[in-house]
């Protein structure tokens, strides 16, 4: 009951915020959100309920916004970023493998989609986007396994920089001008046709929801299973884990590959939706934004990163009215949140195996 | 007394209401590496709107909705969707970055939003599709390099080496200069692509020196242009330096000092101070107290905003009618601060003026006014 009420309130709030245009209404709504957040933290408000509720809330929100192309585009972007971050979450949050090249794997998915889309059915292309990201990741994992801590981080940063330069000088991949993608077609659905009178973005929201549900299902089951326990052990203490017979390399490879696959699929869908990709989209700074979503949400908690994704995408957008100062304000907000909640908005709870 | 006050208020509110407010969008990079040019463009478009709003003869009051595309295609599509799906916005002055413009034209077309590109130079933006919504006031790299190549062959340069950066900007310049220069009988001695943040060019320049070119064409922006020009001297490579619009700014001369002397460059548009309206533009711009300079493309953003508002004045705030008003039939030899504007079937301005520049005594001087043209000084061979 409580969860249903929260979902309804959150939907109403999101609807108001996405439609708000004036500076006063946006500031009022944001203040309200901060107040609600602080109150919830003070009252030690705990929320548990079926995940279905959250997805239902997003679906209802999409239907409420059915004619508003821009809000639906934002909503789909949030869902795509959630999926990408769920992938990173497996790496950072569970196995403790650092990956500062999230946007690069996102980009591998996007470029794979751009190249294969004219030739293969698009549902397969989405999966191949993930597979390509996993494949590229399986090469990068070699130096990552040989290094630790800051050094492993440096390896992934180097890869992120290299990836962007590679795209820029590679003319078969469109070079700096990028590539155009055809319309996404899955079965009988042409994604760029309007849905009755409503926006064509409704189909993208639906597909985003399906992907997010699948990714969430995989990640949550992974966490609850013995695999999740093994990954946690590897992250917390490699020596202890090894002495219990866990193969560190094996679990790191597993987490890295699964994570990159999920991120790659998200990248492929993103490329289809924007219809155009270029190296600028996959810069190192984008990887940092993905990592900051994890930190802001609370590493390891899928719901935390969902909330953080919404903030990171919607806030700069709603700050457009202050033009060139928006990222300044946005960055200040992120720092403030982390100052008061150093473990993120929704830190990962302990695993409760009995329910 | 009270009656008079009521009447006055009624009159005032009537006067205020008599003008309908029309919203137009400005889209450009306000944050990130290209923000200087984006903010200059934003200020210039804002200036056009302010001047129009101060004009009692204008039929409408204009409201400029400023959106930041961050010079990223995904953000650009997002902003194009925002402007396009907002039915109160009737037109836009959009895009400096070519990639973003390429990504966004489909969205403008989908939503039927008339836009005038104010800075992106990639030819494909207007020529790849047949979108009636998309127009452009600035010239493309094609025009600039056509003039450049012609100039070089006319002045007896036959064998030119190229260094360009690997961004869309540098690569495009490389492509079109090569095309036009070889067409006019010239030869490309060598072609080197470098990343936009490279520091040391000894390897490229040494190799290039062996090729014995009579000039070095550089397609890129000021920072590496400065490094290359400085390192040429160190290696004793004294050939003519031929640049693009990307180096026509004071920073290039400031960083190089006397070494900048004799460098050539080509840019779209006549210099603002050379045009009657251009002078007015600079005066008004300074009067408004903007904290950033208009930069190279500010005048284009201003001209685009004026052109759009003129179309709205004539056609009314209706997207379809504005598009009709911006068709080649109506936009022909329209006076603007960047020279005359004439749109072709693709909405491309076909008479973009290209100005030739040469550095003389620490200043970018128009070629025709320089001592190099009069024969007093000579370009390097």
Q: Residue ranges per domain, chain B?
A: 2-139+272-350, 142-268+356-369
A175 φψ region: left (φ > 0), alpha (ψ -120 to 50), beta (else) = left
* B252 closest CA partner among B218, B281, B286: B218
Residue A99, min C-alpha distance to chain B (Å): 22
Residue A324: which of B35, B72, B84 has the nearest Cβ?
B35
pTM passes above 0.90: no
* A235 closest CA partner among A221, A220, A218, A223: A223
Residue pair B150/B362 in contact (Cβ under 8 Å)? The answer is no
* Mean confidence (pLDDT) of chain B: 88
Q: Taking chain A, what is the end-to-end CA distance rounded to the nearest angstrom? A: 18
What percentage of chain A reaches a pLDDT higher than 70?
Answer: 99
Q: B78 and A73 in contact by Cβ < 8 A?
A: yes
HSE-CB of A110 using CA atoms within 13 angstroms: 30
Structural tokens at position A162 = 């290299």
Q: B31 and A175 in contact by Cβ < 8 A?
A: no
Q: B68 and A323 in contact by Cβ < 8 A?
A: yes
Q: B66 and A320 in contact by Cβ < 8 A?
A: yes
Structural tokens at position B72 = 């990223």
pLDDT value of residue B243: 93
Of the residues B36, B45, B99, the best mutation for testing chain A's interface (the one with the most A CB atoms within 10 Å of its CB) is B99
Residue B73: which of A69, A278, A327 has the nearest Cβ?
A278
Describe the crossing of helices B73-85 and A248-274 by its angle, rounded to 10 degrees. Answer: 40
- Number of cross-chain residue pairs from A and B with Cβ atoms under 8 Å apart: 88
pLDDT value of residue A264: 97
Residue stretches of chain A with pLDDT short of 50: none
Residue pair B75/B68 in contact (Cβ under 8 Å)? The answer is yes
Structural tokens at position B278 = 């251009």
CA–CA separation, B266 vs B150, rounded Å?
A: 12
Task: Identify the three-state secondary structure at position A323.
Answer: helix
List residues bridging with B215 in a β-sheet: B160, B240
pLDDT value of residue A198: 81
Residue pair A313/A271 in contact (Cβ under 8 Å)? The answer is no
- In angstroms, what is the C-alpha Rg of chain B? 23
B72–chain A Cβ distance below 8 A for any pair: yes
Give the neighbor-by-neighbor strand order of the sheet with B240-242: B187-194, B159-165, B215-219, B240-242, B264-268, B354-359, B364-366
Task: Identify the three-state secondary structure at position B179.
Answer: helix
Residue A326, min C-alpha distance to chain B (Å): 9
Calculate the CA dihedral of residues B208, B212, B217, B221 and round it to 10 degrees.
30
Q: B166 and A175 in contact by Cβ < 8 A?
A: yes
CA–CA separation, B201 vs B241, rounded Å?
A: 15
Residues 6+ apart with CB under 8 A from A212: A55, A79, A82, A83, A86
Of the residues A20, A176, A330, the best mutation for testing chain B's interface (the one with the most B CB atoms within 10 Å of its CB) is A176
List residues bridging with B65 in a β-sheet: B25
- Cβ neighbours, 10 Å, residue B356: 17
Q: Taking chain B, what is the end-to-end CA distance rounded to the nearest angstrom? A: 83
* B343 closest CA partner among B377, B309, B308, B319: B308
Q: B166 and A176 in contact by Cβ < 8 A?
A: yes
Residue B72: which of A275, A280, A324 has the nearest Cβ?
A280
Task: Identify the three-state secondary structure at position A306.
Answer: helix
pLDDT 10s digits, B309-346: 999 999 999 999 999 999 998 998 888 888 889 999 99
Report the chain B residue with the minimal C-alpha distance to residue A18: B82
* B105 closest CA partner among B97, B96, B115: B115
Q: A178 and B102 in contact by Cβ < 8 A?
A: yes
pLDDT value of residue A163: 94
B2-139+272-350 and B142-268+356-369 share one CATH topology?
A: yes
Residue A277: which of B73, B122, B166 has the nearest Cβ?
B73
Query: Which ranges of chain B would DSSP assign to H, the alpha helix?
Result: 2-18, 35-54, 73-85, 98-111, 124-127, 141-154, 168-183, 202-210, 222-234, 250-256, 276-288, 298-315, 319-325
pLDDT value of residue B80: 95
Describe the crossing of helices A226-236 and A248-274 by its angle, rounded to 10 degrees. Answer: 110
Residues 6+ apart with CB under 8 A from B97: A280, B29, B34, B69, B71, B76, B119, B120
Residue stretches of chain B with pLDDT short of 50: none
Q: B171 and A323 in contact by Cβ < 8 A?
A: no
All structural domains of chain A with their residue ranges: 2-340
pLDDT value of residue B17: 55
Q: Is A244 exposed, middle or buried (0-12, 13-18, 19+ CB in 10 A)?
A: exposed
Report the chain B residue with the minimal C-alpha distance to residue A276: B103
Task: Identify the three-state secondary structure at position A355.
Answer: coil
Residue B356's H or E segment, with its range, is strand B354-359
Residues of chain A positioned with their CB less than 8 A from the CB of B33: none
Residue A332's H or E segment, with its range, is helix A326-340
CA–CA separation, B368 vs B3, rounded Å?
A: 67
pLDDT value of residue B4: 61
Residues 6+ apart with CB under 8 A from B52: B58, B62, B306, B309
Structural tokens at position B367 = 């070629």
Describe the crossing of helices B298-315 and B276-288 by its angle, rounded to 10 degrees. Answer: 100
Residue B273, min C-alpha distance to chain A (Å): 28
* A199-235 as b/e: b if 16+ CB within 10 A: bbbbbbbbbbbebbbebbebbeebbeeebbebbbbbb
* B242 closest CA partner among B186, B202, B203, B197: B186
Residue pair A299/A92 in contact (Cβ under 8 Å)? The answer is yes
Residue A281: which of B35, B74, B82 has the nearest Cβ?
B74
Residue A146's H or E segment, with its range, is helix A122-146
pLDDT value of residue B280: 85
Q: Could you please state the CATH topology (level 3) that the domain comprising B2-139+272-350 is classified under.
A: Rossmann fold (3.40.50)
Residue pair A138/A253 in contact (Cβ under 8 Å)? The answer is yes
Describe the crossing of helices A284-297 and A149-169 by its angle, rounded to 10 degrees. Answer: 140
Residues 6+ apart with CB under 8 A from A58: A11, A75, A79, A205, A209
Angle at alpha carbon of residue B201, lines to B231 and B96, rounded to 5°? 100
The DSSP code for A320 is G
B106–chain A Cβ distance below 8 A for any pair: yes
Task: Identify the three-state secondary structure at position B349.
Answer: strand
Q: A177 and B122 in contact by Cβ < 8 A?
A: yes
Second CATH level (architecture) for the domain B142-268+356-369: 3-Layer(aba) Sandwich (3.40)
Task: Name the interface residues of A facing B (CB cutoff 8 Å).
Answer: 68-70, 73-74, 77, 165, 168-169, 175-178, 180, 199, 270, 274-278, 280-281, 317, 320, 323-324, 326-327
Q: Contacts from B271-276 at CB under 8 Å and sequence distance 24+?
A: B271/B355, B271/B366, B272/B299, B272/B337, B274/B366, B275/B337, B275/B338, B275/B339
Residues of chain B positioned with their CB less than 8 A from the CB of A276: 73, 77, 102-103, 106
B99–chain A Cβ distance below 8 A for any pair: yes
Which sign, positive or negative, has the C-alpha torsion A110, A112, A114, A117? negative
Residues in chain B: 381
DSSP B13-59: HHHHHHSEEEEEEEEE--SSTTHHHHHHHHHHHHHHHHHHHH-TT-S
Residues of chain A positioned with their CB less than 8 A from the CB of B42: 323
pLDDT value of residue A144: 92
CA–CA separation, A114 vs B280, rounded Å?
A: 48
């Amino acid at each position: 009951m409580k969860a249903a009420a929260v979902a309804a309130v959150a939907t109403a709030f999101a609807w108001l915020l996405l439609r708000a245009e004036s500076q006063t209404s946006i500031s009022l709504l944001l203040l309200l959100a901060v107040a609600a957040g602080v109150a919830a933290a003070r009252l030690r408000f705990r929320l548990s309920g079926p995940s279905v509720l959250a997805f239902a809330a997003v679906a209802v929100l999409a239907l409420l916004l059915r004619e508003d192309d821009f809000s639906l585009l934002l909503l789909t972007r949030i869902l795509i970023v959630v999926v990408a971050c769920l992938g990173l979450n497996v790496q950072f949050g569970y196995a403790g493998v650092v990956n500062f090249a999230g946007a690069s794997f996102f980009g591998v998915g996007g470029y794979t989609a751009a190249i294969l889309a004219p030739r293969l059915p698009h549902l397969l292309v989405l999966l191949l986007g993930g597979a390509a990201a996993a494949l590229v990741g399986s090469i990068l994992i070699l130096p990552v396994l040989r290094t630790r801590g800051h050094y492993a981080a440096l390896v992934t940063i180097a890869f992120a920089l290299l990836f962007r330069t590679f795209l820029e000088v590679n003319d078969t991949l469109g070079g700096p001008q990028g590539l155009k993608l055809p319309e996404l077609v899955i079965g009988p659905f042409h994604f760029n046709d309007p849905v009755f009178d409503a926006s064509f973005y409704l189909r993208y929201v639906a597909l985003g929801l399906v992907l997010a549900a699948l990714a969430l299902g995989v990640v949550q089951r992974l966490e609850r299973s013995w695999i999740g326990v093994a990954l946690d052990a590897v992250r917390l203490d490699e020596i202890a884990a090894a002495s219990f017979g866990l193969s560190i390399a094996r679990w790191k490879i597993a987490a890295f590959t699964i994570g990159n696959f999920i991120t790659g699929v998200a990248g492929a869908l993103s490329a289809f939706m924007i219809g155009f990709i270029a190296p600028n989209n996959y810069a190192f700074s984008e990887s940092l934004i993905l990592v900051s979503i994890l930190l802001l949400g609370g590493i390891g908690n899928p719901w935390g990163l969902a909330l953080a994704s919404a903030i990171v995408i919607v806030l700069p957008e709603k700050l457009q009215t202050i033009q060139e100062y928006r990222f300044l304000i946005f960055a200040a907000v992120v720092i403030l949140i982390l100052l008061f909640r150093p473990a993120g908005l929704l830190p990962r709870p302990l695993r409760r195996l009995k329910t | 007394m009270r009656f008079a006050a009521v009447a006055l208020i009624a009159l005032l509110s009537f006067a205020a209401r008599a003008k309908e407010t029309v919203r137009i969008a400005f889209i450009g990079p306000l944050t990130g590496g290209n923000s200087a040019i984006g903010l200059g463009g934003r200020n210039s478009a804002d200036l056009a709107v302010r001047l129009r709003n101060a004009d009692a003869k204008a039929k409408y009051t204009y409201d400029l909705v400023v959106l930041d595309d961050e010079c990223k295609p995904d953000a650009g599509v997002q902003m194009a969707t925002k402007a396009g799906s907002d039915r109160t916005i009737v037109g836009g002055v959009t895009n400096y970055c070519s990639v973003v413009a390429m990504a966004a034209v489909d969205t403008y077309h989908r939503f039927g939003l008339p836009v005038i590109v104010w800075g992106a130079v990639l030819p494909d933006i207007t020529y790849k599709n047949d979108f009636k919504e998309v127009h452009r006031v600035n010239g493309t790299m094609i025009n600039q390099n056509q003039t450049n190549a012609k100039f070089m062959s006319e002045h007896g340069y036959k064998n030119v080496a190229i260094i360009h950066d690997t961004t869309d900007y540098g690569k495009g310049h490389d492509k079109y200069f090569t095309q036009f220069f070889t067409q006019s009988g010239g030869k490309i001695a060598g072609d080197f692509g470098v990343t936009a943040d490279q520091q040391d060019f000894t390897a490229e320049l040494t190799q290039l020196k062996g090729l014995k070119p009579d000039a070095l064409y550089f397609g890129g922006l000021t920072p590496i242009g400065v490094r290359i020009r400085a390192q040429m001297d160190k290696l004793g490579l004294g050939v003519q330096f031929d640049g693009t619009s990307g180096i026509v700014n004071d920073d290039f001369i400031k960083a190089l000092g006397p070494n900048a002397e004799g460098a050539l460059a080509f840019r779209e548009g006549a210099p603002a101070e050379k045009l009657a309206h251009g002078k007015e533009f600079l005066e008004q711009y300074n009067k408004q107290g903007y904290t950033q300079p208009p930069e190279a493309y500010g005048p284009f953003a201003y001209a685009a905003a004026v052109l759009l508002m003129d179309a709205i004045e004539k056609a009314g705030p209706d997207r379809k009618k504005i598009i009709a008003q911006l068709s080649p039939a109506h936009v022909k030899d329209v006076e603007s601060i960047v020279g005359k504007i004439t749109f072709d079937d693709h909405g491309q301005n076909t008479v973009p003026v290209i100005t030739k520049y040469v550095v003389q005594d620490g200043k970018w001087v128009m070629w025709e006014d320089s001592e190099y043209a009069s024969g007093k000084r000579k370009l390097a061979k």
